[in-house]
Chain A
Amino acid sequence: MKKIMLSILLAGLLAACASKEAKQESKATIEESTPTQSQPQPSTAPAQQQSVAMDPLHDPKNILSQRSIYYDFDKSIIKDEYRPLVQAHAHYLAGNRSARMTIQGNCDERGSREYNLALGQHRADAEKNAMTLLGASKSQIETVSFGKEKPRCTEHNESCWSQNRRGDIVYQGE
């Protein structure tokens, strides 16, 4: 019964994500580009299959060492290029039920602090929902938002802003 309920819930979440994404994609053109740095390598094998000479979370060759997902201005849609990264972390959580992570949502400095706080939270929650649908447990993931309060880069230009529109994955104990 529990399993059925979960399935229904997951189906609902998928539908919700799909409709939200569809709605957002139809409405506006993307205004800014994303940074080219720290892109995931889609060809990298999932974590569990790797020979673990070192902790996969910190192995630079492992996609799990990549922790940031970047967004377009005023968007919380996870772009296709980050799906392997999301999938890898979801699988890691599914395979390591004692693992816990916090996803920290961040935004660029433009616009209001409160709207950005909500947007950062939405970004973090979008990543959590995606990982949950891919097998992670909700209880493994906490989400917080720093809005525009903790910029990685503090200059007032797009190259800086693009680095600040981001969700960061931090595992417990890191």
Chain B
Amino acid sequence: MTFETIKRIRASAAWRGALTKIIFLLLFLYAGPLQAALTIEIIGGGATQIPIAVVPFAAEQGLPQSITQVVGADLARSGLFKLVDTGGINPLPVEPSEIRYADWKARNADALVIGTVRPLADGRLEVRFRLMDVVKQAQLAGFSYNIVPAQLRLTAHKIADVVYEKLTGYPGVFSTKICYVVKQGSKYELQIADADGYGSQTVVTSNESIISPSWSPDGTKLAYVSFERKRAVIYLQSLLTGQRTLLASFPGSNSAPVWAPDGKRLAVVLSKDGISQIYLVNPDGSNLQRITYSGAIDTEPNFSSDGKWIIFTSDRGGTPQIYRMPASGGESERLTFEGTYNVSPRFSPDGKSFAFIQRGVGGGFNVAVEDVATRQVQVLTNSLLDESPTFAPNGKIILYATIENNRGILAAVSSDGKVKQRLTVQSGDIREPTWGPFLKAQQQLPILNQ
């Protein structure tokens, strides 16, 4: 058996300075107590689930947040893992040398997470974890993180991300964020939260509707549509400073903002020249350029992640259907042919497929996915009023809004349709979800060791 040394990642002093500022600002923005804004419930499960034991981390009793619990909940919620009971094994292993593999083989565990939390002299915590392969009796991954106690949840999500990636081959999204709108009575709140619904923060509150939030590719800004001026206008807002600027408020409707993957341009929809058409604009509002001239409604643009294509909704053929054109404009190609109402296209991160809303023959509006090359469509839900599908950045989950028991809720479905989840708020309606991007590795450094 070989032991890999635990990986340590060093952050430069300058970067640490910048991060301290970001953390401070995020804490400043953070409004309420750390509680689940959303309650998540799994409805279906994957056909094959990887059995994994998450051993309670040593010395985490008394901490404000249990890492073990969050890692286990993340993995279970994905539908791809089955948690193996760790009760009755004594002593529980903390270091690889303490693992008695026979115990875990007897419980049919394929993998094992072990770890420890140790207080440091400066008040921070050192979190160490290892992912062990029970069959091969070998370490698959190991990291340590020096963090402040407020980063325990984020650290646990990052550990779950490592486990997910090592065992499924796809990056985990547990440490990413989601954005959505909560309507409480006549009040609208644009909120962001961890992907598991915890740590919600209100970005902006309004007495008028807010729709169509869109993350900048670096995850530091949101574009959204607000009706606070009694018509639809587009704002950009920094998540670091809270500062917001008006991007477009031409006569008529200004809507459907979406960032190009390089962050240098946005596609927006304006009706100022007669009917809703697609334009490109710089984030400072300059260099406005119209890119569709259909004479029919063109809206809901979305870029492919390579920046080459825009897919969008248009009723140029008489009913709303999904089209594709080069990202700088040009000839469009119709992509949907089934049914009379196909809207809200969103490219998968690999650009090979797109999620959208299709009105079925029974009249229900459902989440569907179409393969761009083969045009094959798979309908993933069977509810009545689904809207706003958004891919997780690993492409494995589609989050969307729907109505259940007369309330707006969020739901998620795995892109193969097998795992379903329901996300609800305690009161009010929740809608307009959009899943945030992977943050660049450097931006994840705050929870890693120096």
Q: Which residues of A contact B (CB under 8 A)?
A: 16, 20, 23-24, 27-28, 74, 109-115, 117-122, 125, 142-147, 149-150, 156
- Tell me, yes or no, whether B415 is within 8 Å of chain A by CB: no
Task: Name the residue among A27, A115, A144, A145 with the largest chain B CB count within 10 angstroms.
Answer: A115
- Asked if residues B343 and A115 are in contact (CB atoms below 8 Å), the reply is yes
- Asked if residues B313 and A110 are in contact (CB atoms below 8 Å), the reply is no
A122 to B320, CA, bound (A): 14
Residues of A with C-beta under 8 A to B162: none
Identify which of B15-23, B31-39, B55-63, B224-232 touches chain A: B224-232
Q: Rank and list the top 3 A-B pairs by shortest CB-CB distance, nearest first.
A: A118-B276, A27-B318, A149-B209
What total of A-B pairs shows CB separation below 8 Å? Answer: 111
- Tell me, yes or no, whether B247 is within 8 Å of chain A by CB: no
- Give 23 pairs: A residue, B residue, CB < 8 Å, sorted on A: A23-B318, A27-B319, A74-B340, A74-B341, A110-B385, A111-B387, A112-B357, A112-B388, A114-B212, A114-B299, A114-B344, A115-B299, A115-B300, A115-B313, A115-B320, A117-B211, A117-B253, A117-B299, A118-B299, A121-B253, A122-B275, A145-B232, A146-B209
- Tell me, yes or no, whether B252 is within 8 Å of chain A by CB: yes
Residues of B with C-beta under 8 A to A27: 318-319
- Asked if residues A156 and B256 are in contact (CB atoms below 8 Å), the reply is no
Instruction: Give the secondary structure class of B's interface.
Output: loop
Rounded to whole Å, the gap between the CB of A173 and the closest CB of chain B is 15
Nearest neighbor of A142 in chain B, beta-carbon distance: B251
- Asked if residues B276 and A121 are in contact (CB atoms below 8 Å), the reply is yes
A113 to B271, CA, bound (A): 15
- Asked if residues B231 and A144 are in contact (CB atoms below 8 Å), the reply is yes
Nearest neighbor of A25 in chain B, beta-carbon distance: B318
Residues of A with C-beta under 8 A to B236: none
- 0/1 per residue, B320-357, Cβ < 8 Å to A? 10000000000000000000110110000000000001
- Asked if residues B253 and A118 are in contact (CB atoms below 8 Å), the reply is yes
Rounded to whole Å, the gap between the CB of B335 and the closest CB of chain A is 16
Residues of A with C-beta under 8 A to B251: 142-143
- Asked if residues A112 and B343 are in contact (CB atoms below 8 Å), the reply is yes
Rounded to whole Å, the gap between the CB of A99 and the closest CB of chain B is 19
